[in-house]
Amino acid sequence: MRLAVYPTAIGPCGIAWRNSDVADGDATGEFTVVVACQLPDGDADTTMTRLRERVDGGRECAPSEAPASIRSAIALVTASLAGQDVDLSTIPLDLDGVPPFAARVYAQARAIPRGTTVTYGELAARLGDPGAARAVGGALGANTFAPIVPCHRILAADGRPGGFSAPGGLATKERILAAEGVHLTEPTLF
């Protein structure tokens, strides 16, 4: 497994990947899958430390040393966080060890178009289980693939941000949504 930290508009993000034998591979015959992502947590060193806490082992490298598919994933995430309209849904993820319900939640979340949001309850209904809003929230709280699995697009029933377990919490969620053109405002009394 390899790990890299790279600059983005919202701060240094991290990515971990491994080789996989599940597909045909890229031009070099190598196929890689993303094992985990890390949203910014201060500086690059702290972000790398947090990424290492998410994965078991791995060797750090420069993003330029990554395989083409991972360099592409880094470029797409960087562009997305800078406000560009890109599609992250085709980046291959390593879902080994992800519970089946969470994998279904992640797949549905990845189908939510950029610049739109749904509630936890709406996502549960899309899964065919409208009473599972809390379970959806739990699965998204354990999401180690943000922003590739866009848990930031899922809101509380009242349209407020709800939760966000990444560093920076709700401020990070709102910042990523703002990069996608979604601006949440707190309701006022007047």
* pLDDT per residue as tens digits for the range 25-55: 445 556 899 999 999 999 999 999 999 999 9
- pLDDT reported for residue 6: 98
Please give the mean pLDDT across all residues of the chain.
Answer: 91
- pLDDT reported for residue 171: 87
Task: Tell me if residue 151 is catalytic.
Answer: yes
Q: Give the pLDDT mean for 80-92.
A: 96
pTM: 0.89
In the block, residue with structure tokens 């791995």: 58
What residue segments make up the domains of the chain, in order of their start? 2-81, 100-179
Query: Residue 166 half-sphere exposure, CB side, CA atoms within 13 Å?
Result: 30
Is cis: bond before 187, omega within 30 of 0? no
Q: Which residue has the higher pLDDT, 133 or 20?
A: 133
Question: Is 80 exceeded by the pLDDT of residue 96?
Answer: yes
Q: Which of 13, 37, 61, 151 is catalytic?
A: 151
Q: Is 62 exposed, middle or buried (0-12, 13-18, 19+ CB in 10 A)?
A: exposed
Task: Please name the residues in contact with 20: beta carbons below 8 A apart, sequence gap of 6 or more.
Answer: 31, 32, 33, 92, 94
161 pLDDT tier (thresholds 50, 70, 90)? confident
The three-state secondary structure class of 49 is helix
Question: Is 90 exceeded by the pLDDT of residue 165?
Answer: no
Return the CATH fold of 100-179: Arc Repressor Mutant, subunit A (1.10.10)
